[in-house]
Structure 1
């Protein structure tokens, strides 16, 4: 009986020791905006991540995004741009910046009555103190103007 108990204690100790050496993801605990799409593929590194989303609605394209760092950054900036996929033309953008933050979200934006076509968003974020950059390009979305 003592042998079985001793083996159990050793195995539990090994399990706890192995947990101490497991890598921790920088994206753990990120809570995206409720406006974000369910597909969460982010761009970034082990300190800074960013995301952009877009949704086609009857009269407009709604878009936005967010940036999150692993810890407080001295300064953080995010910009999310809406592009026409075929021409590469920048349609509009939204941006935000802040000091002493670890999460930042620009105001959601609308492109009103865009022509029927393919669109995507490009999000870029950066921090100072420490210095990091991240970017994200969404997949292409087909929008059909429906007056």
Structure 2
């Protein structure tokens, strides 16, 4: 079994001059709803643990668990409109789904971690400004 970072494929990043927003407002005025902000805040609190599950599976070189953890992480980010994070995770997941493994996998996870922290910060700003 090849190491996690030595396969020859890379993600097909669809980079453009414009990054997607950290958060996508799914319905007009949704971020003005306290109930939605509470749900979004709860989702953000769970992101670090979901991210840790990906890293732990990677460290144990359990490919199936890595793919499963990334799939779950992708679902949460998409469901709650975490646009930039979801897009980045979806790109990585698409490569893994094809049975390929990016040679720069660890660097991609680090980038996802940075975007996750930016997303959590943005959610905290939204919920603080609501209070």
TM-score, normalization by structure 2: 0.26
Which fold has the larger relative contact order, with Cα–Cα distance below 8 Å and residues 6 or more apart in sequence?
2
**Which structure has more strand as a fraction of its residues?**
1
Which structure: larger Rg? 1
